[in-house]
Amino acid sequence: MIPLQHIRKTEETDEALLQAYKQTGDQELLARLYLRYSDLVYGTCLKYLKDGELAKDAVMNIYHELLLKLNNHSVDNFKGWLYVLAKNHCLMYLRSAKKNVTVEFQQEIMQSVEFSHLDNVLEREQEFKSLENCIETLSADQKLSIRLFYLESKCYNEIVEETGLEWNKVRSLIQNGRRNLKICMEKNG
């Protein structure tokens, strides 16, 4: 290990700075390393976010994320790892931005939705009744396997333990039961 005092700025490798940061926790070392690649991070963010201000904010947020993640990861190639971190940060931002779409409130539409919502509820209730009727037409083993798998969210292994059936038999019962339910539901409209 090379003491920090003996590392000259011109000779600092990414690995030496990273190792020194992990040993000392000195953020100046990490900042020095990050600044080497800040143009890469900014360019990556600009590529994905397509907005200069958002990209600048992302560069700062990624540095904060770097502080949190670096201690939990073994990094052999800092530049490559940082690029992937920046890319994933931008993709997560874009994904969360899609979820938070704001739409204008239009009262005339909202009032008509009340009635269509009621129709949808009644339609869904009828579908559930049809499904229940179709489940009753299944063989006893299929019915039990379908109920345990879909209604009680049990996995194949749990169903095997509860029923004493073989794993392949449970898989077959669920697949055939699902197919029979689909046929029955299509017949009943």
CATH number of the structural domain spanning residue 62: 1.10.1740.10
CA distance 73 to 91: 20
The reply to whether 66 and 94 lie within a common domain is yes
Structural domain count of the chain:
2
177 with 160, same domain?
yes
Query: Are 35 and 69 in a shared domain?
Result: yes
Helices (H), ranges, 50-106: 52-69, 78-99
Model pLDDT, residue 107: 59
Query: Residues 91, 115: one domain?
Result: no
| CA distances for 88 relative to 40, 44, 48, 84, 94, angstroms | 14, 10, 10, 6, 10
User: 13-17 long-range contacts, Cβ below 8 Å, gap at least 24?
Assistant: 14/78, 14/79, 15/78
Q: Are residues 90 and 111 in the same domain?
A: no
Confirm if 48 and 57 have CB atoms less than 8 A apart: no
The pLDDT score that the predictor gives to residue 1 is 45
Residues 62 and 111 in one domain: no
DSSP secondary structure code for residue 38 in this structure: H
Torsion over CA: 27, 33, 36, 38 (sign): negative
Phi, psi of 182, deg, nearest 5: -60, -45
Cβ count near 144 (within 10 Å): 18
Looking at 46, 75, 99, which one is the last position of a domain?
99
Tell me the residue range of the domain where 180 lies.
Answer: 107-187
Tokens of 149: 């798998």
Cα separation, 113 vs 26, whole angstroms? 58
What pTM value is reported for the model? 0.48
Which are the contacts of 178, defined by CB distance < 8 A and separation ≥ 6? 146
Please list the pLDDT of the chain residue by residue as tens digits (189 residues).
444 454 455 568 999 998 898 889 898 998 999 999 999 999 999 999 999 999 999 999 999 999 888 888 888 899 999 999 999 999 999 888 776 666 666 655 555 545 556 667 777 788 888 888 888 888 999 989 888 888 888 888 889 999 999 989 988 998 998 899 889 888 876
Q: Are residues 144 and 179 in the same domain?
A: yes
